[in-house]
Amino acid sequence: MLIDTYDRVATDLRVSLTDKCNLRCTYCMPEEGLQWLGKSALLSDDEIVRLIRIAVTRLGITEVRFTGGEPLLRPGLVSIVEQCAALTPRPRMSLTTNGIGLKRTATALKAAGLDRVNVSLDTLRPDVFKTLTRRDRHKDVLDGLEAAHEAGLTPVKVNSVLMPGLNDDEAPELLAWAVAHGYELRFIEQMPLDAQHGWKRDGMITAGDILASLRTRFTLTPEGDASRGSAPAERWTVDGGPHRVGVIASVTRPFCRACDRTRLTADGQVRTCLFAREETDLRGALRGDAPDEEIAQLWRTAMWGKKAGSGLDDPSFLQPDRPMSAIGG
């Protein structure tokens, strides 16, 4: 079991498979200049599967989310998913992706055992997409979403970040589109995850702003805390249901008290929080031929030291010095 001093138990593992990405979203990374991890620094496919096996069989992990960077850039992804699907007990597995490679891989990922996907899409306007991501790949994302739905990687969830002056007027339009296509939309408050440290608290679009915009077109009924559990998104039914929309208010409504996550970076470090500055090295233990139980104990010790909160609700919060692409969203 992965328990901390606040009696939170981690059952959800986020695994970053690579620090690389084929987009350059303005709220995530600069257009150029980032130094990528060398191949020897990255965990191998076998090392990733071994750590997930330890987490599932010894530490009580029941859900595994593959992230990046962009996880579809990992050549061994389908094999990793297939091996993890063979574990006993079998974890539920999902993938967070920008969707660009899903048209090509969705069927194979479903066959390997992946349960569902989260796809990032912040706008329905190709020109705004190009401005936000610095790439002209909007149609590829839409095609990827359709392929994921057809392959049965459901519910397909769409994650959207609203940025001032770019797409902050699109919330109702995005929700109408998601309802029409059978996707579950979740808005995420912009977090301080950009390597260039351009985030400003007083300029962000808040959960309150998003809900006010949605209510100009839709009737939203809160589902309440009982149905939310440890999920980061507060959810509302749309116009009486069955469709739902979620808002992840990491900055203005932190949900740290219910957090059930642990994170593994692409280079084999345990992070107890996306915004933690401390890491625990599992890669060194792996490559030093440490037995499974020794690695499990390192992980338990790391989680025991998890802090009460992320610090995002503190106005003096300083952005982490490591970009999100290296940590995993």
Its pTM stands at 0.90
The pLDDT score that the predictor gives to residue 196 is 47
Task: Decide if pLDDT at 323 tops 70.
Answer: no
CA dihedral for 319, 320, 321, 325, sign (positive or negative): negative
Of 25 and 126, the one with more pLDDT: 126
Task: Give the residue ranges of DSSP H helices in 59-137.
Answer: 77-85, 102-112, 126-133
| Contact between residue 189 and residue 205 where contact means Cβ atoms under 8 Å apart | yes
Averaged pLDDT for residues 317-325: 51
Task: Decide if pLDDT at 258 tops 90.
Answer: no
Q: In whole angstroms, how far apart are CA 253 and each of 44, 199, 234, 309, 310? A: 37, 18, 10, 12, 12
Residue 199 binned pLDDT confidence (cut-offs 50, 70, 90): very low
Averaged pLDDT for residues 105-127: 97
Q: Which two structure tokens, joined as six digits, stand for 297?
A: 């104990």
Averaged pLDDT for residues 13-20: 95
Residue 192 binned pLDDT confidence (cut-offs 50, 70, 90): low
Averaged pLDDT for residues 67-80: 96
Lookup result for tokens 């001093």: 5
The pLDDT score that the predictor gives to residue 37 is 84
Task: Decide if pLDDT at 34 tops 60.
Answer: yes
Task: Decide if pLDDT at 233 tops 50.
Answer: yes
